Amino acid sequence: MSNRIQKLFKEGRGRLLSIYYTAGYPSLNDTTRIAAALQKAGADIIELGIPFSDPVADGPTIQKSNKIALDNGMNLALLLDQVKEIRKTVALPSIQMGYINPVMQYGIERFAKDAAAAGVDGLILPDLPIAEYEVEYKKVFEGVGLSSTFLISPTTATVRISRIDQLSSSFIYAVAASSTTGAKDGFSKEQLEYFARLKNSKLKSPLMIGFGISDANTFRQATDYAAGAIIGSAFIDLLSRSNNLEADIEAFVREIRNAS
Residue 15 pLDDT exceeds 90: yes
| Distance, CA of 29 to CA of 25 (rounded, Å) | 8
Judge whether residue 1 has pLDDT over 70: no
> Is 99 in contact with 126 (CB distance < 8 Å)?
yes
pLDDT (mean) for 96-119: 96
Helix axes 245-257, 30-41, angle to 10 degrees: 40
Is the model more confident about 104 or about 3? 104
Find the mean pLDDT for residues 152-161.
Answer: 95
Mean per-residue pLDDT for 53-81? 86
Is there a domain that residue 191 lies in? no
Average pLDDT of 146-151? 96
- pLDDT-derived band at 260 (thresholds 50, 70, 90) equals very low
Mean pLDDT of the chain: 92
Q: Is residue 195 part of a domain?
A: no
What pLDDT is attached to residue 182?
A: 47
pLDDT digits (tens, 9 = 90+) for 158-178: 999 999 999 998 999 999 986
Domain assignment present for 160: no
154 in a structural domain: no
- Is 35 part of any domain? yes
| CATH code, 64 | 3.20.20.70
Q: Is 210 helix (H, G, I), strand (E, B) or coil?
A: strand
Q: Is the pLDDT confidence value at 259 over 70? A: no
Domain hosting 103: range is 14-148+214-257
92 in any annotated domain: yes
Cβ atoms 149, 170 nearer than 8 A: yes
Catalytic sites, residue numbers: 47, 58
Per the structure, the count of domains in the chain is 1
Q: Which of 6, 60, 256 is nearest to 22 (CA)?
A: 60
Span 116-145, average pLDDT: 96
d(CA 128, CA 110): 17
Confidence of residue 69 (pLDDT cuts 50, 70, 90): very high
CA distance 34 to 36: 5
CB 5 within 8 A of CB 45: yes
Residue 2 pLDDT > 80: no
181 located within any domain:
no
**Looking at the domain assignment, is residue 161 inside a domain?**
no
115: pLDDT strictly greater than 70:
yes
Backbone angles phi, psi at 197, to 5 degrees: -60, -45
Task: Look at residue 59 in the predicted model and tell me its pLDDT.
Answer: 72
